[in-house]
A and B are shown apart, each in its own frame.
Chain A
Amino acid sequence: MGHYTMKYRSAFDIIGPVMIGPSSSHTAGAARIGRVARTLFGKQPKKAIISLYGSFAKTYRGHGTDVAVVGGILDFDTDDERIPASLTIAEEAGMDVSFTIEDTVMDHPNTVKIRLFDEDKELELVGISIGGGTIEITELNTFKLKLSGENPAILVVHNDVFGIISSVSTVLANHEINIGHMEVSRKEKGQMALMVIEVDQKIQSDVMKEIEGLENVSQVIRMVE
């Protein structure tokens, strides 16, 4: 079929996830997007601004999308029974949470933008929940991520210095991992930058650790398995 895209890759995308109800896309998927934002931020933020679009904006209260996103930001998994109480837990933890309900029509009906802040850091991420708890991250720090979802992909957060791209690709080459597609972006010269790398083979955890151990690399995250 012409529109075949392989967005779902595992039997457990279909039978799963195990989760706290009531909605896989609006609760579990939302929690997963929140948790990716938290992972990328690297710690619990002081402040979170969450913007909901489309079906998320219309039905978030009924589906618990709000508590799910915040649960994710608190690093809760989809089956964490603390999700329903996440707003209270966030407040007790001193995390300032606010929501904006947006009218803008986005490409996907289940879209959320998450902005996380603390004294020395901020992060902005846009995620979509495509059904059954499966998610895609479409934007990071205003940089559009073009992940096909068909190949394994990693995101490397690094300092914008010379030679870093070659160091990362050398690690992959040493492990005989072929790069299919790669994008590099930065907000300002010499500041934090991102690399999105799509490869042909599954990247094992030891390879991820090796890249993370490189000088000027602060984080390596698996985007697509």
Chain B
Amino acid sequence: MFRNVAELVELAESKNVKIAEIMILQEMEFSGLSREQIIEKMDRNLTVMEQAVERGLKGVQSVTGLTGGDAVLLQNYIKSGKALAGNLLLDAVSKAVATNEVNAAMGMICATPTAGSAGVVPGTLFAVKEKLNPTRAEMIEFLFTSAAFGFVVANNASISGAAGGCQAEVGSASGMAAAAIVELAGGTPSQAAEAMAITLKNMLGLVCDPVAGLVEVPCVKRNAMGASNAITAADMALAGITSRIPCDEVIDAMYKIGLTMPVALRETAEGGLAATPTGRKLAKEIFGSYK
């Protein structure tokens, strides 16, 4: 049983196993299910993620028309060969966007850890997959590694935008993805924790201010940047860069920032981008008398 990132890393390193393995063992103990049953369950989640990305890359539109189609634009741009950022990075961004566009269109997704932040983990996984060619089993491990870090954040801080702002949703998702990328790329459990810390540090204070209260603007693009942030931080950690503030303390800082965040900036659609003239105008157009 691990209660924080330090314990998680210590468990993995002392047993000389991956973080994914620690999560699987804990799940077996908690649920009473066999390893095969647990892997099978995660495999189903992976399939839902694949289908959502596939659907988003074909182009979807939300009911309101606020979001949709950006994943396709980005894929076409990558194909043009003019992209400034690396193709892997933009592929991750595009696949994260694809997932959240499907979510906004009330399609089927897998929450990772939430629906509003469902793009980051699969977006980065399916982009990194093109380079590292993982087996199906390794892709499933990627999800268990993400789960282990998300588990710590959820229990020690929050993964709810209404409680902790977007830092708790896309911030958590990015940190989870960064750590899982490191492990998939062959990094150590400590490096995975450093990647999580570096990512989350750059998401601190991010507010939850959805226009018209919809999981569309700015949520879809925040997943784009969350994916980008995760890959950059993973590369930094793999390069040997460490965070001066330990991962658990960053998580604790996030929790405390969430507690002091004004209600207007915690998923009430009353502040931030939701309260801009355009944000209010869009809300009115969509819902008429919507307050």
| B109 touching A21, Cβ below 8 Å | yes
Measured in the bound complex, the distance between the Cα atoms of B267 and A131 in whole Å is 12
Q: Mark B12-33, 1 if CB is under 8 A from A, else 0.
A: 0000000000011011001110
Q: Mark A111-140, 1 if CB is under 8 A from B, else 0.
A: 000000000000000000111111000000
Q: Within the complex, what minimum Cβ distance (angstroms) separates B125 from chain A?
A: 11
User: Interface centre among A7, A28, A59, A202, by most B CB within 10 Å?
Assistant: A59
Q: Is the CB of B115 within 8 A of A15?
A: no
Q: Please indicate the chain A residues that have their CB under 8 angstroms from the CB of B151 in the complex.
A: 8, 11, 13-14
Chain B contacts of A225 at CB under 8 A? Answer: 31
The verdict on B243 contacting chain A, using a C-beta distance below 8 Å, is no
CA of A202 to CA of B215, assembled, Å: 36
Bitwise interface map of A from 125 to 167 toward B, beta carbon under 8 Å scored 1, else 0: 0000111111000000000000000000000000000000000
Bound Cα distance from A202 to B31, whole angstroms? 9
Contact status B160-A131, CB under 8 Å: yes
Binds A, one of B42-50, B69-77, B89-97: B42-50
CB–CB B213/A14 < 8 A: no
Q: Which residues of A contact B150 (CB under 8 A)?
A: 14-15
Does B221 belong to the interface (CB within 8 Å)? Answer: no
B158 on the A face (CB < 8 A): yes
- Identify which of residues 3-24 in chain A touch chain B, using a CB-to-CB cut-off of 8 Å: 3-24
For B248, give the chain A residue with the smallest CB separation. Answer: A1
- Min Cβ gap A183→B in Å is 24
Residue-wise, chain B 122-154 has the 8 Å CB interface mask toward A (1 for contact) of 000000000000000000000110111011001
Note all chain A residues with C-beta closer than 8 A to B287. 61-62
Interface of B is mostly: helix
Please name all residues of chain A whose beta carbon is closer than 8 Å to the beta carbon of B24 when the two chains form the complex. Answer: 11
A19 to B88, CA, bound (A): 28
Given contacts A21-B102, A132-B154, are A16 and B111 in contact (CB under 8 A)? yes
Interface residue B4 (Cβ < 8 Å from any Cβ of A): yes
Does B210 interact with chain A (Cβ within 8 Å)?
Answer: yes
Q: Is B113 among interface residues, defined by CB-CB distance under 8 A?
A: yes
The CA of A164 and the CA of B19, in the complex, are separated in Å by 47
B115, A22: Cβ atoms under 8 Å? yes
A14 lies within 8 A of B212 (CB) = no
Residue of B38, B110, B210 ringed by the most chain A CB atoms within 10 A:
B110
Contacts of A108 in B (CB 8 A): 163
A62/B213 contact (C-beta < 8 A), A11-B42, A22-B104, A132-B113 known = yes
Smallest CB separation, B59 vs chain A (Å):
16
- Check B32 against A130 for contact (C-beta < 8 Å): no
In the assembled complex, the CB of A224 is this many whole angstroms from the nearest CB of chain B, namely 12
Q: Are B154 and A22 touching (Cβ within 8 A)? A: no
The answer to the question of B232 belonging to the interface, with a C-beta cut-off of 8 Å to chain A, is no
A11 touches B162 (CB 8 A): no
Shortest distance from the beta carbon of A176 to any chain B beta carbon, whole Å? 16
Residues of chain A with a CB closer than 8 A to B109's CB: 18-19, 21
Scoring B110, B160, B263 by chain A CB atoms within 10 A of each residue's CB, the highest score goes to B160
Q: Does A110 contact B (CB under 8 A)?
A: yes
The reply to whether B111 and A28 form a contact with Cβ atoms under 8 Å apart is yes
Complex contact A12–B41 (CB within 8 A):
yes
Residues of A within 8 A of B182 (CB): none
Do the beta carbons of A110 and B212 come within 8 Å of each other?
no
Distance between Cα atoms of A28 and B114 in the complex (Å): 10
Distance (whole angstroms) from the CB of B220 to the closest CB of chain A: 10
Tell me if A55 and B266 are in contact (CB < 8 A): yes
Question: In this assembly, does A102 line the interface, its C-beta being within 8 Å of a C-beta of chain B?
Answer: no
Give 6 CB contacts A-B under 8 Å. Answer: A21-B103, A21-B105, A22-B214, A28-B115, A62-B286, A109-B263
A→B interface (CB under 8 Å): 1, 3-28, 54-55, 58-64, 79, 81, 83-84, 108-110, 129-134, 202, 225
- Chain B residues with CB under 8 Å of chain A are 3-4, 23-24, 26-27, 30-32, 38, 41-42, 44-45, 48, 102-116, 118, 121, 143-144, 146-148, 150-151, 154-156, 158-163, 168, 176, 210, 212-216, 248, 252, 255, 263, 266-270, 286-287, 290-291
New A-B pairs, 18, CB < 8 Å, besides A23-B215, A25-B160: A3-B255, A4-B3, A11-B147, A12-B42, A19-B109, A20-B107, A21-B109, A21-B115, A22-B106, A24-B118, A25-B162, A58-B270, A58-B291, A61-B213, A61-B287, A109-B162, A131-B114, A131-B168
